[in-house]
Amino acid sequence: MSRRQSQAKVEDLMSITKPQGTMFGHPKGLFLLFTTELWERFSYYSMRAILVLYLVDKVQSQGGHGLGWTSADAISLYGTFTGLVYLTPLIGGWLADAYLGQRRSIMIGGALMAIGQFTLAAPHSWMPGSETLVFYIGLGTLIIGNGLFKPNISTMVGDLYEEGDHRRDGAFTIFYMGINVGAALAGFVVAWAYTSFGQTVIFEGQEVFINNWQAGFFCAGVGMICSLIIQFFFAQKLLGDIGKYPAAQLAKDKAEKTGQVAKQPLTKIERDRIKVIMVMGLFTIIFWAGFEQAGGLLNLFTNEFTDRNIGSFEVPTTWFQSLNAMFIVIFAPVIASIWIRLGKNEPNSPVKFALGLVLLGIGFLFMIGAVLEMGGNPDAKSSMWWLVGAYFFHTMGELCLSPIGLSMVTKLAPLRIASLMMGAWFLFVAAANKIGGFIGSFIGHDGPKEEQLANAMSIFAGIAITSAISGVILYFMADKLVSWMHGAEGSHVHTEEEALEEEMAVTADHEGIKH
């Protein structure tokens, strides 16, 4: 293609008009993206809620439908899986920008995720002797699909609005609500699926109820299919041409056209700001390594050592996985109001980050309380309210810490290496998940329950102490970090609506999809 043709192509694409039509004052495309992301998050959290439980369940020949892994191996794999979930969007985002465009990436990634979920859902009777191989194929397909899907939706939300449009912040609040609604629904629906489609069998002379984990994975696959159908039928009508063209390629062509260039050496201010990103990144590893015990170690503790009975009703283990999303929806407005009412006394970003670490530690004090209540008796059960308290304080910590994450990177990173710095931040989160799996695996390789309980106590105490000490250290470093920001910290949000948008961004930051 000649330079003149390239320039004409850029001019033509840059002149594309936004789709017409609004709903509740926002472009109708926002609600398409809201619904698409809701079902995708439903799919992911449905699978996440039962992955470890499925791995540690007995194999079929022993009266179960799982893979019969040890707790340590299951949690270690969970850490590897979630680490890759945060790492592959780096590649997926690059492919979307350079070659595929966001819409095509979403469709390809969503299709791969659906295939992965349905592969995990395949009945064991179809694949005797190769269950583990098929499981790895399903999980690998999910990881690749996630990498293509995850980084592109929120970018399209921003593209619905012109620069400076005051509706943009409110749009992201609506979008993040979809993420939390999908995450909250997942635990309840998957619990219904794997218990409703389970079966009672005679094992060693006794009736044993077997959970049908495949039904849970099937529900996750159905959620992903819903997401794809919505995109396929309504994207062109409601989004116009948004997301169809590779953004980075257009930007490159535009730069060539206008003669923009030049790599310039970093200034002292830019180097100082990069130092802040690196330091905060180390502390974010500590936070998420503890927080991500939710899907692994805490999930197993809920299943094995918690009294989940309310009268004659037994609360399904996966319901507890919905607590985080529910607490975010309920308390994000409260936290936003607190920051506003503090006015000039509102803490700066590093102090909020430090507070988040301390709150995470307090959450694990509740888990220590749960173990102490059992008095070292592995046949005893701890109250479920210890878990509710732990998830509550973990969520409060998340609401203090996570809105800082990627938004801090966008404020501090020099524009010409912003993508590189964003990639570094993703690496911190990926490392945190892998380290979290490694820590949780110290529960042991299914030795005596007394040993597992003692190991759990050590892990809970270790995370609580590490989080609290890290929070204190960061608190005393806060002034220095703010000085290294050289004014980028700026003033805090000025309205309650802006503060609420920041707090609702928590899950999107955590999921690594906000740009």
- Residue 10 inside a domain? The answer is no
Is residue 250 within 8 Å of 13, Cβ to Cβ? Answer: yes
Measure the CA–CA gap between 108 and 237, rounded to whole angstroms: 20
Q: In terms of domains, do 215 and 324 share one?
A: no
Element (H, E) at 267: none
Give the three-state DSSP class for 311: coil
Residues 63 and 40 in one domain: yes
Which of 225, 259, 293 terminates a domain? The answer is 259
Report yes or no on 361 lying in a domain: yes
211 in a structural domain? yes
Give a yes or no: residue 457 inside a domain: yes
Q: Are 357 and 474 in contact (CB under 8 A)?
A: yes
**Where is the domain boundary, 259, 289, 315?**
259
Q: Return the pLDDT at 239.
A: 84
Report the CATH number that the domain containing residue 503 is assigned in CATH: 1.20.1250.20
pLDDT score, position 250: 62
**Which pLDDT score, from 0 to 100, does residue 37 have?**
84
Q: What is the dihedral of CA 95, 97, 101, 104, to 10 degrees?
A: 30
pLDDT for res 378: 79
Q: Give the range of the structural domain holding residue 241, as residue numbers without chain letter.
A: 19-259
What residues have CB less than 8 Å from 339, skipping those under 6 apart?
A: 346, 492, 493, 499
Q: What is the mean pLDDT of each run of 10 residues along the chain (515 residues)?
A: 46 49 78 86 86 81 71 92 87 82 90 93 69 89 90 75 69 75 87 75 53 85 92 87 73 64 74 92 94 91 92 90 89 82 85 94 96 88 96 93 72 72 81 93 84 93 97 95 84 61 61 47
**Per-residue pLDDT at 495:** 66
195 and 214 fall within a common domain: yes
Does residue 124 sit in the same domain as residue 185?
yes
Q: Answer whether residue 501 is part of any domain.
A: yes
- CA 394 to chain CA centroid, nearest Å: 14
Query: Do 46 and 129 fall within a single domain?
Result: yes
Same domain, 344 and 237: no
239 neighbors 122 (Cβ within 8 angstroms): no
Considering the domain architecture, whether residues 234 and 328 belong to the same structural domain is answered as no
Q: Do both 255 and 266 map to the same domain?
A: no
> Residue 489: what pLDDT?
73
Q: What b-and-e string marks burial along 469-481, b requiring 16 or more CB atoms within 10 Å of the CB?
A: ebbeebbebbeeb
Q: What pLDDT was estimated at residue 6?
A: 45
Q: Which own/partner pairs from 447-455 qualify as long-range (CB within 8 Å, at least 24 positions apart)?
A: 448/378, 449/304, 449/378, 449/379, 450/376, 450/378, 452/71, 452/304, 452/378, 453/305, 453/371, 453/374, 453/376, 453/378, 454/376
pLDDT at residue number 127: 62
Q: What is the pTM of this model?
A: 0.80
Beta bridge partners of 306: 382
Q: What pLDDT is stored for residue 483 in this prediction?
A: 92
Alpha-carbon span 55 to 445, nearest angstrom: 13
User: Letter for the amino acid at 236?
Assistant: Q
Amino acid at 312: S
Tell me whether residue 6 is in a domain: no
- The answer to whether residues 378 and 249 belong to one domain is no
Helix (H, G, I), strand (E, B) or coil at 16: coil
Strand partners, 201: 208
Question: Within a domain: residue 303?
Answer: yes
